[in-house]
A and B are shown apart, each in its own frame.
Chain A
Amino acid sequence: DAKTTQPNSMESNEEEPVHLPCNHSTISGTDYIHWYRQLPSQGPEYVIHGLTSNVNNRMASLAIAEDRKSSTLILHRATLRDAAVYYCILRDVGTGTASKLTFGTGTRLQVTL
């Protein structure tokens, strides 16, 4: 399985943009890039996903490098409620194992006033 690498932790000030990086240098052509987050005392929550093009939704934006070896989750204005562990996950639609979400260690985001 292709692996992802994320920083262990990041800090942000409230109402500032946050850029959460993810490296996936061994990504295959059939890997989708998914982001989930887990707030304290809750189950993981889907944030966004993409294949090649940048993606936007109401929660965040996903910027994917042209060679697809890295991606960045962008929170446009961090709030205290965005403090969570953010997971970058690759899902391979080419091998029949797409249903498996393999979580890495993720990035713990702290948001301060």
Chain B
Amino acid sequence: DTEVTQTPKHLVMGMTNKKSLKCEQHMGHRAMYWYKQKAKKPPELMFVYSYEKLSINESVPSRFSPECPNSSLLNLHLHALQPEDSALYLCASSQDPGTQPQHFGDGTRLSIL
């Protein structure tokens, strides 16, 4: 069991749908992250939130919209996705945005039809 909870575990959506991925942690961590992982590839950083403010956006297309409503929650809003966006989306958190270890959830496996 991980301390970072992601829902849903699986999601299938069409290219015109709007959906959201949710991530929650109750460890008091002040930094949260979204990563994308394609099959048989390493995870790639998408966004970093530090103290509830977006601090890093790795040139992610605007069809991915992150949101951090409070220090425990991180959402990723999805709209008009493409088939190549099918991947495992991982959320992580850390005590602060420095070199503290990041704790990962088990991800949401997203399939775009």
Tell me if B77 is interfacial: C-beta within 8 Å of chain A: no
Asked if residues B104 and A99 are in contact (CB atoms below 8 Å), the reply is: no
Tell me if B56 is interfacial: C-beta within 8 Å of chain A: yes
A93 to B98, CA, bound (A): 7
**B66: min CB distance to chain A, Å:** 14
A99-B48 CB under 8 A given contacts A43-B2, A43-B92: yes
Q: Which of B13-21, B38-46, B68-76, B79-87 contacts A (4 or more CB under 8 A)?
A: B38-46
Which residue of B has the minimal Cβ distance to A97?
A: B56
Q: Which residues of chain B are near A101, meaning CB under 8 Å?
A: 33, 35, 43, 45, 92, 102
Q: Which residues of chain B are near A34, meaning CB under 8 Å?
A: 99, 101
| Contacting residue for B105 out of A43, A99, A102, CB 8 A | A43
| Contacting residue for A98 out of B42, B99, B105, CB 8 A | B99
Asked if residues A93 and B42 are in contact (CB atoms below 8 Å), the reply is: no
Asked if residues B48 and A43 are in contact (CB atoms below 8 Å), the reply is: no
Asked if residues A43 and B45 are in contact (CB atoms below 8 Å), the reply is: no
Which residue of B has the minimal Cβ distance to A85?
A: B42
Interface class of chain B by DSSP: strand
Asked if residues B42 and A49 are in contact (CB atoms below 8 Å), the reply is: no
- Per the 8 Å Cβ criterion, residues 2-43 of B in contact with A are 2, 4, 31, 33, 35, 42-43
Q: Which residues of chain A are near B4, meaning CB under 8 Å?
A: 43
Asked if residues B56 and A49 are in contact (CB atoms below 8 Å), the reply is: no
Q: Which residues of chain B are near A104, meaning CB under 8 Å?
A: 42
A46 to B50, CA, bound (A): 20
**A32: min CB distance to chain B, Å:** 5
Asked if residues A103 and B105 are in contact (CB atoms below 8 Å), the reply is: no
Which residue of A has the minimal Cβ distance to B92?
A: A43
Q: List 13 A-B contacts (CB under 8 A).
A: A34-B101, A42-B2, A43-B2, A43-B92, A43-B105, A44-B92, A49-B101, A87-B42, A93-B99, A101-B33, A101-B35, A101-B45, A103-B44
